Amino acid sequence: MEKPLWAPWRMEYIATPAATTCIFCQFMAAPSDKDRENLVVHRSNLSFTVLNRFPYNSGHVMVIPQAHGADFATLTDEIFADLHQELKLAAKVIHEVYHPEGCNIGMNLGRIAGAGIADHLHYHIVPRWGGDTNYMPVLADTKVLIEHLDNSWQRIQAGFLALG
């Protein structure tokens, strides 16, 4: 007997109109009292870390330079250094908070490479555990997340406070 599987948060993804301005630039420009609403967990001088609103796994964050741009080669040395310090700190926080068995860290440059937001480059950090890829994505085209985004925000933001 088939039982329905509910993922109501996916409707937000489907129903949300495409942004006319860069969502990352909006997050960066928003006052810090909007960080929780925007899922921003940490800000450095030239970069910031935000939870992915539509994550592949619990704890999936993106590390983003404040400077808008899609060309990795045009990052200034200062922005490059800050971005990678933020990436290093974010990876450490994810390891401390989630204790994953591994992580995928990388960026998709350009829409054809899989970038959902192609005009503003960003790194993804996706924590991984043995068995986190199971029959659900393969047979049901569904990913089961074990934690609500607000709980992830609280845990990761606390991790940055503890380590940063």
Could you list the active site residues? 122
Q: Which two tokens stand for residue 90?
A: 């974010």
Please answer whether residues 61 and 94 qualify as being in contact, where contact means their C-beta atoms are separated by less than 8 angstroms.
yes
Beta-carbon neighbour count of residue 17 at 10 Å? 5
Concatenating the DSSP letter of every residue in 49-83 gives EEE-SS-SSTT-EEEEESS--S-GGG--HHHHHHH
The pair of three-digit structure tokens given for residue 67, joined into one six-digit string? 């400077």
93, 125 contact by CB (below 8 A):
no
Q: Is 164 helix (H, G, I), strand (E, B) or coil?
A: coil
